[in-house]
Amino acid sequence: KEDFSGHQVLRISAADEAQVKKVRELEDLKHLQLDFWRGPSRPSMPIDIRVPFPSVQAVKVFLESNGIKYSIMIEDVQTLLDEEQEQMLAFRSR
């Protein structure tokens, strides 16, 4: 199974259209291997991105250097997936 250890999901709050556009630039940076859970649309809508561990620092630096606010929505994706699996297995064994 694919391992998502260290992957974080960032929730980005773009303040205006210019910041939305800036976040869109991230979509073109294929080497970062970002997974847009909720893509950039307009300033009032949050943008959620799953960021693989090796890209976490680069993305955070990009956001901070452009003054774009974000929070960590999921600290470690794999931890949540492990909990999900445990819950399913517990149900089956019961």
Partner 1 sequence: ASSTDTFNYATYHTLEEINQFIDLLVAENPNLVSKIQIGSSYEGRPLNVLKFSTGGTNRPAIWLDTGIHAREWVTHASGVWFAKKIIEDYGQDETLTAILDSLDIFLEIVVNPDGYAYSHSSNRMWRKTRSINAGSSCVGVDANRNWDAGFGLSGSSSDPCSETYHGEYANSEVEVQAIVDFVNSHGNIKAFVSIHSYSQLLLYPYGYTTARAADQAELHELAKTAVDNLSSLYGTEYEYGSIITTIYEASGTTVDWTYNSGIKYSYTMELRDTGFYGFLLPAKQIVPTAQETWLALITIMDYTLKHPY
Interacting residues with partner 1 (CB under 8 A): 1-2, 4, 9, 11, 30, 35-42, 45, 48, 50, 73-74, 77, 80-81, 83-84, 87-88, 91
CA distances (Å), origin 88, targets 23, 38, 91, 92:
36, 26, 5, 6
Supply the minimum distance, in Å, between the C-beta of residue 73 and partner 1.
Answer: 7
Supply the minimum distance, in Å, between the C-beta of residue 65 and partner 1.
Answer: 25
Residue closer to partner 1 by CB (options 2, 65) is: 2
Residue closer to partner 1 by CB (options 64, 75) is: 75
**CA–CA separation, 13 vs 32, rounded Å?**
20
Residue closer to partner 1 by CB (options 58, 81) is: 81
Nearest to 9 by CA among 44, 43, 60, 45: 60
User: Is the CA virtual torsion 53, 55, 58, 62 positive or negative?
Assistant: negative
